[in-house]
Amino acid sequence: MKPQIENIETTKKILPLILATAIFMQMLDSTILNTSLPSIAKDLNESPLNMQNAIISYVLTLALFMPVSGFLADKFGTKKVFIISLILFSLGSLLCSLSPNLTVLVVSRVIQGIGGSLMTPVGKLALIKTFDKSELLKAMNFAIIPALIGPVLGPLIGGYMVDYLSWHWIFLMNLPIGILGIVLSVKYMPNYFSKIIDFDFKGFLFFAAASLLLSISLEWMGNAKNITPVLLVFLMGFIFIYLYYRHAKKEENPIFPLELFMVRTFRVGFLGNLATRLGISSIPLLIPLMIQIAYGQSAVVSGWIVAPMAITAMFGKSAVIKILNRFGYRKTLMFNTFLIGTLICLMAIPGINTSIYWFIPLILVLGFFNSIQFTSMNTISISDLRDSHTSSGNSLISVNQQIAIGFGIAFGLIILKLFEGDTQLIKGNIHNAFRYTFLVMGILTILSGFVFRRLHFRDGDNMKS
């Protein structure tokens, strides 16, 4: 049900900014954490390579609770749910800053994750329902451009705070942004809701169990001495996916209708998001780790090296509409994915005696094409969805993205650990382990580009302006 919006033009101007505050907090939070992990690990007496719990627990919580976001928004309204999500995320950030050990940090990240699981998909849902499809690409693009400041500030602020203050302060950066988002939401967030509420609780349990088991199995894989229990957990995850499939075929209103996958653009966008992010997601974490662990540089230096990725991402956002209008989604996504994979492979070239500033040109170009990739994948996924499927489709795409990010981070660290343990291959130099990891992740990304061959050359035309 659509609310009565007094000034629709003002709402259309402010709403992308409100969504930007949510994405900005998440991006700032994740990029600050990436550059700060070695220092946090040292303070908590943990290995930097074992700190993935602080990242994966957050991503896993997003994946578990995002399926509920559409139902909660329909029942209680987008405005109320979005404001509560901002409060939870800000509270989790405060608790993270007060964490005395890794266990408390992980629990605090879970609270953050509950807030994050609601605020971005609910904010996107409000945006999708407010703008016509011909306006949506520009609106979504505008919402993401301010948010890209987060990855610019994150590595730099994180580096300086860790080196000159304390890692505890990095999470406090979210509080003023959260307050700004709450103030704007109270005044300008439209309160969309639905009178017909039917939450598929059984389907949610099946889907949540599948997400949890698959994520846990991948996390355990990096540390397990006996692979058998890990494979059993992994298999159980797929069993729950099958159970959800069986359930969704019979359920009148499943949490994620199977009809979504009858829409080709949604199906390709879903699979492309999953495959591409498996290769890309670990790179923003691997680069700061390599600079600090292999090259022995400070968090500040790693921050300055990574920051250019976000600067060029802004230019990518401003260019993506023109690129899509000229070449279409199919050509853009295929070529762009191959290019990103090649750039990741090129990061394996510099040796330990090569200047770390050799990475800057690669990171600059990578940031530009990453932004084109994410905007294109996100918009093609929802381009042909019916209004009745917008909420569930948007939630499933958000869940898929977070699972893929979590899998990508875990997979990247698993590959790194495997190479690190092969002393003969890396010749006692951990930097070689990073180099081989970049090669594996780059090749995986290149192969993922073939998913987009399933698109037709006219797909996404209704999103063009």
Q: Is residue 3 part of a domain?
A: no
pLDDT tens for 272-293 read 988 998 888 888 878 888 888 8
Domain boundary (239, 254, 269) is at 254
Q: Are residues 132 and 173 in the same domain?
A: yes
Answer yes or no: do 39 and 81 share one domain.
Answer: yes
The packing angle between helices 359-382 and 308-346, to 10°, is 100
Identify which has the larger pLDDT, 385 or 432.
Answer: 432
At 311 the pLDDT is: 77
* 1 within domain boundaries: no
Domain stop point among 254, 270, 295: 254
Of 3, 116, 101, 4, nearest in space to 51 by CA: 101
**What mean pLDDT is predicted for residues 80-104?**
89
Asked if residue 126 and residue 79 are part of one domain, the reply reads yes
Q: Domain containing 209: what range?
A: 200-254
Asked whether residue 308 is assigned to any structural domain, the reply reads yes
Whether residues 34 and 129 share a domain: the answer is yes
157 has pLDDT over 60: yes
For residue 40, pLDDT beyond 70: yes
274 and 323 inside one domain: yes
239 and 306 belong to one structural domain: no
Instruction: Answer yes or no: do 285 and 425 share one domain.
Output: yes
Complete DSSP assignment for 424-462: HHHTT-HHHHHHHHHHHHHHHHHHHGGGGGGS-TTTTGG
What is the CATH classification number for the domain harbouring 127?
Answer: 1.20.1250.20
Do 226 and 361 fall into the same domain?
Answer: no
* More confident site: 114 or 172: 114
- 396 located within any domain: yes
276 and 408 in a single domain? The answer is yes
For residue 463, name the pLDDT band (cuts at 50, 70, 90).
low
pLDDT digits (tens, 9 = 90+) for 369-411: 988 888 888 888 877 777 667 777 777 887 787 778 777 877 8
The string of DSSP codes covering 191-243 is ----S-----HHHHHHHHHHHHHHHHHHHHHTT-S-HHHHHHHHHHHHHHHHH
Q: What is the tally of structural domains in the chain?
A: 2
403 within some domain: yes
* Whole-prediction pTM: 0.74
Q: Are residues 245 and 261 in the same domain?
A: no
Neighbours of 444 (CB within 10 A): 20
